[in-house]
Structure 1
């Protein structure tokens, strides 16, 4: 460098009819003294020089320059400026505010005389400085436009009614953090804040938002970069750095002053070199953050902070700003106030033959594109200018109406009605809406990418608006190469897979949980599900319990193999029954047919035939009519069949008794007895069925739960009591017939009728006794199959045991089917 900056001018002034004041934060001395005579340059160990923040000065000057050159805005009025550097210090902030307001700089408030022509003040980079400025400015009703972060805790409109915010609300920033965390499912984060009111306010505001969004704080570290406590906090900052290295949280949110951050990053770099470890974290920076540089021009924390995120006030390109910077002439006044910038230019341009150009500065030292904070200052100047324009010409019109034409001496407090809700276009033709003392604008999400040549690039990867609308471009994000996975995972425990839900571990944060599988009818189709959800009734969970699958409609149909086999068997035996009936009809007058009442045999065969055909009612989709006819038809027809068997058995007994001399039983061997037995027994079953229909008849029903993955279409029996009454009555008739036939089995009978009936009833009863446990243990359409099997088996037992021997005799042993056999004379 060619010399040092000595006796730096404390303010930069340009006269005008109306003065806009500015209080900016440019140089941060470590060893601060209010009466310093020299401000150290960027190579000095005793200060952190914010060269990038000198752009704030140029933005304010550029805005005033544009307005003065605009004939449509404030014609005949020239704006001037008076800019101070508060050196990041509270005492200095109070002093420069008084210097702004009073010409003699004697710092004696509450005197109206000797006041400067300052119309408004732009400044307060931090909320703390904004409040300190507002305490004095509010007494004089000066409009104050702050471009720092909007912190609602200290911005009560009743306390500071003349304070206007040119930055988005802090709630927008907070929700931007929450939405960014949720976008990448980061729920286990570290928090490092300044140990002051701003840090405490940040924690208090964010803590309930974390709780509402199931985000947990792995650790909270507080520190200070205050020069008075710095020496005592070095060990504390080193411990903080070690915590950042050892933590399992891969996402760290920072809310601290620049000096503390500067020291913290240097500590991290020192630990990296000493312990030879690489720190790979995702850092979420404060809104006004940017890289600091070391004395030799290297980016501090270049590798550690690679891929960091920050939030910057949403900006549009301001055409003309770069050209303005390129044409800045460093006259004596500018050189004195902007000594450090000018000194850097001299150092960079030793071969430039005395021509200093801001473009020659490295981007990590000074940016040519307008930053978010500079854009807020730019808009603040335009807001004041448009409010003054509206107020000035409103006052002029009133005076013209009164017939007066004079220059208006406008007072600062008269600006407020025009400033509170103002809508204008700035010099970049960007629409700016200022409502209720707040600027309706959001934040851009910035991804910081560094390069080995000590340069960096700010990549705009998303945006969060004041309406909390969030958008992000994943493909535009560049992640730190030190991260173990991309994008990184930052959770207390491994994620619960789909098909599981979370269970919070007792005594631990909500983010530290166990995983439990979903129950039988529940699913979870996303990771880390808070709870499992129940599938709709017509769906069921798949094997992994992560998807609901539509249930298959199930009923015993003709198309499936089981239904086809049962139908085939029923029809086959129905045909066989027809052949048997035809054989009996053809041999109607033969002894074996006439034996034991051929009419009764014919009725029994017809009943057996109808029983086979009734099986068709059980197959196919259950309908209202088929459900009503199924059990009723089966119950009545089977009652008729068993009644016929009972009548046959009784007739065998009566026939034996009638052969005894003097027995009157012969009179009971007529058709009337058989018809009476069949009708009386069958009518009782008909009565049961009618009662069933009148009380609770069968109806089509849907069973969603008996079988997993199936919707079973079935016939609900309605009254289970009546269903078992119908079956029980058939069982009673069959059992009674079996007992009678069993007792009569040894009676002399030419064709062994009693023995065949006994055997048929034994088969019948065995089938239906085994049916009961099979019916109760079977589900779905197989219930119908079991019932059909019982019907077919018992029906076939009657046909085979009673009629097949007779058919065999008729067809193959006609010699036994003679009258002589009946009289006891065997031929040949």
Structure 2
């Protein structure tokens, strides 16, 4: 076989190149012994054992400095033969190592992996074929595999990858060239009775030679063939396919490459003659169909002259389409040489593991992964007829080093056949898997209500035969409800600002001074923020708005309630003093009031930080509440965080309400506690009713309820606490005097008979 001779020449070329190198293995000569496995695993194992058992007789003219020892075996091109050799020899080496533990065993496979490939693993080839079949839409295929390790392992990997991609196998038939006629006939009958139109073939070119004849005899044509690299680029198969059975075949092959000088070395066979090799005579006679010695004086025998012109030949021997395979033999020899070179460079302790990594003279990087495999790169080729001849046209690439979604790139101009078990379901129907059959075989039944597609952004129309975009719902600024709530929020903010201006204008009047102006201004500021924070709940939810709306709400309301609580404590402590002139207020002066507001607010800030750190709110598409629409909302992230924020506000409000309630019976005119009690009553009522309304409201109404609660409680605080004071300041300025304040204080302290303080010189009148 010409290809086997070419492979042998590739190995010799690499060894001679290394022996002539001054940089790689200087002073060391590599030898070789070549055996023919006859594509038999048993023969391959036998030859490997012959190589390992004892020293070989030297066949070179140059005497070595020490007995020749086998350091590595360059395996067969067929993985089944090479794997059998690796398994057997690996065990043999391990036993040998156990017996000679203290000796250095002259075999690099003791230290390194015993089975390395320079050609990609069939695992990647199988995945590449499966992804290619899927890309062409062939979900229902048949398969023929060579009945050995190569075919069975390759097809098992293909089947697994195909199932993951949704491709089903109708059949997977073993085949071997020694099968009986009866077995082959059963294979043919099964293919004829099948419905799939694509055949994936994991076999060698020898198998294809037989299959082509069998298919032609039974007139089996019109199938789309998908081939492994073992035959898809074989020019001999293309020449044998005279009946175009493989027309349009597609498959993976090793990328085209060249090795400088290798073609010339293979074609230069005259050195065989000078070496006196008997193989030269056989090769020359077969190549030129002549004989050096004529037997029986046959008239039809052509005598060989030895001067026949090889350059004029155009046959299998001069065909270099298998150059990528020759290149892999070349790289395998160099991998061994580089490993030996590194071992010989070890002066003391050699590494127990080493990654072989080098560049060929063409600049190609050669290295192996942890499994001993190179990076898998394939060309996708298509058999096309050009001038009545099969041509291998590259239509795509596969590179395993790329991300999974971009490893395969195929461009197919020609029309490819349809091969499916069941046609795609028409609009308005869905798949129902047929009992006892693969998932690629199904019936089409009408869609249930609300079902047409598994795409969550779409919804079926009334007739269930077309997808329409689902309506997206959220509380926006453009709709009526959003406009009204925005207007109310802005109105509340403006009212708060107006009241603050009034208080600032009359800050030196008794009523403003008597109501703790510092806390009043801080309370007005926090109320303005409360009104404004309701605007963050309106609009399309986003990451920043979801985080801002809940944290702004929680912190501003705590700041607001903290101010109210401070004012309540001031009122309670001031007017619960048992005697006039009591200095009880020294325990809760301006500094303590500021610190209390700061402390209460910082606790809420800490709760919000913990919430945002652990599980913050985030935008979410709710498709479960309504089938026909998508609700855009803010998921709470951590429900505990949300209820902790709300619960802390409720705790402060309840505390404030209780303290204000205790001071509710203080006398008339300027009873701050009474107003705080009313405001807290409104606040608590609003938020208690908010909880069931919030839980039960659907869609955008959930957000509207929350905004309503914020605005209602804010207006309650604003009106109850500040509206009476503004009434006195604007409408009743005569009551905004020191005398009226003192009368009110006398009334609150119990001096009911002396409300109108005069000039009488009694002790009590003087005090008033």
Q: TM-score scaled to structure 2, two decimals?
A: 0.51
In structure 2, relative to structure 1, the CA distance for the partners of 1:115 and 1:262 (3 Å cut) is: farther
Give 3-state SS (helix, strand or coil) of 2:368's partner.
strand
**Structure 2 equivalent of residue 317 of structure 1:** 258
**Structure 2 equivalent of residue 121 of structure 1:** 73
**Structure 2 equivalent of residue 265 of structure 1:** 212
Q: Within 2, Cα distance between the matches of 1:456 and 1:66?
A: 34
Q: Within 2, Cα distance between the matches of 1:707 and 1:467?
A: 42
Q: Within 2, Cα distance between the matches of 1:254 and 1:159?
A: 37
Shift of 1:372: 3.5
Structure 1 stretch displaced more, 246-255 or 492-501 = 492-501
Shift of 1:366: 4.8
Asked if the contact 2:382/2:393 (under 8 Å) is kept, the reply is yes
The C-alpha deviation readout for 1:209-262, integer Å capped at 9, x for no partner, is 333322211122223223xxx4xx113213323433453212111223544432
Matching residue within 160, 167, 173 for 1:221: 173
**Structure 2 equivalent of residue 491 of structure 1:** 420
Matching residue within 45, 58, 62 for 2:13: 62
Shift of 1:266: 0.9
In structure 2, relative to structure 1, the CA distance for the partners of 1:458 and 1:252 (3 Å cut) is: same
Give 3-state SS (helix, strand or coil) of 1:164's partner.
coil
Asked if the contact 1:138/1:161 (under 8 Å) is kept, the reply is no
Q: Within 1, Cα distance between the matches of 2:156 and 2:80?
A: 16
Q: Structure 2 regions of 5+ residues with no counterpart?
A: 58-65, 95-108, 292-301, 489-537, 541-621, 632-768
Shift of 1:381: 0.7
Give 3-state SS (helix, strand or coil) of 1:85's partner.
coil
The C-alpha deviation readout for 1:578-604, integer Å capped at 9, x for no partner, is xxxxxxxxxxxxxxxxxxxxxxxxxxx
**Structure 1 equivalent of residue 24 of structure 2:** 73
**Structure 2 equivalent of residue 512 of structure 1:** 441
In structure 2, relative to structure 1, the CA distance for the partners of 1:711 and 1:139 (3 Å cut) is: closer
Q: Within 2, Cα distance between the matches of 1:542 and 1:77?
A: 83
Asked if the contact 1:187/1:491 (under 8 Å) is kept, the reply is yes
**Structure 2 equivalent of residue 461 of structure 1:** 396
In structure 2, relative to structure 1, the CA distance for the partners of 1:288 and 1:51 (3 Å cut) is: same
Shift of 1:363: 5.9
Matching residue within 465, 468, 473 for 1:548: 468
Shift of 1:706: 14
Q: Within 2, Cα distance between the matches of 1:306 and 1:336?
A: 41
**Structure 1 equivalent of residue 657 of structure 2:** none
Q: Within 2, Cα distance between the matches of 1:358 and 1:244?
A: 44
> Is 2:140 aligned against 1:188?
yes
Q: Within 1, Cα distance between the matches of 2:375 and 2:117?
A: 11
Asked if the contact 1:463/1:471 (under 8 Å) is kept, the reply is yes
Matching residue within 226, 245, 249 for 1:283: 226
Shift of 1:377: 1.3
Written as runs of structure 1 = structure 2, the 5 A alignment for 1:720-799 is none
> Is 2:187 aligned against 1:240?
yes
Q: Within 2, Cα distance between the matches of 1:79 and 1:627?
A: 88
Matching residue within 328, 339, 342 for 2:284: 342
**Structure 1 equivalent of residue 367 of structure 2:** 433
Q: Within 2, Cα distance between the matches of 1:454 and 1:126?
A: 28
Q: Name which one, 1 or 2, has greater alpha-carbon Rg.
A: 1
In structure 2, relative to structure 1, the CA distance for the partners of 1:61 and 1:711 (3 Å cut) is: closer
Shift of 1:87: 1.0
**Structure 2 equivalent of residue 383 of structure 1:** 335
Matching residue within 302, 307, 313 for 2:248: 307
The C-alpha deviation readout for 1:381-413, integer Å capped at 9, x for no partner, is 110111111112224xx59xxxxxxxxxxxxxx
**Structure 2 equivalent of residue 86 of structure 1:** 37
**Structure 1 equivalent of residue 457 of structure 2:** 535
Q: Within 2, Cα distance between the matches of 1:244 and 1:336?
A: 47
Give 3-state SS (helix, strand or coil) of 2:172's partner.
strand
Total equivalences in the alignment: 464
Q: Within 2, Cα distance between the matches of 1:138 and 1:371?
A: 30
Asked if the contact 1:345/1:357 (under 8 Å) is kept, the reply is no
Q: TM-score scaled to structure 1, two decimals?
A: 0.48
Shift of 1:473: 5.1
Shift of 1:207: 3.6
In structure 2, relative to structure 1, the CA distance for the partners of 1:430 and 1:116 (3 Å cut) is: same
The C-alpha deviation readout for 1:771-825, integer Å capped at 9, x for no partner, is xxxxxxxxxxxxxxxxxxxxxxxxxxxxxxxxxxxxxxxxxxxxxxxxxxxxxxx
Asked if the contact 2:383/2:390 (under 8 Å) is kept, the reply is no
Shift of 1:181: 1.4
Shift of 1:187: 1.1
RMSD between aligned alpha carbons?
A: 4.7
Shift of 1:52: 2.7
In structure 2, relative to structure 1, the CA distance for the partners of 1:197 and 1:280 (3 Å cut) is: closer
Q: Within 2, Cα distance between the matches of 1:215 and 1:499?
A: 24
Shift of 1:81: 2.1
**Structure 1 equivalent of residue 272 of structure 2:** 331
Q: Within 2, Cα distance between the matches of 1:115 and 1:360?
A: 44
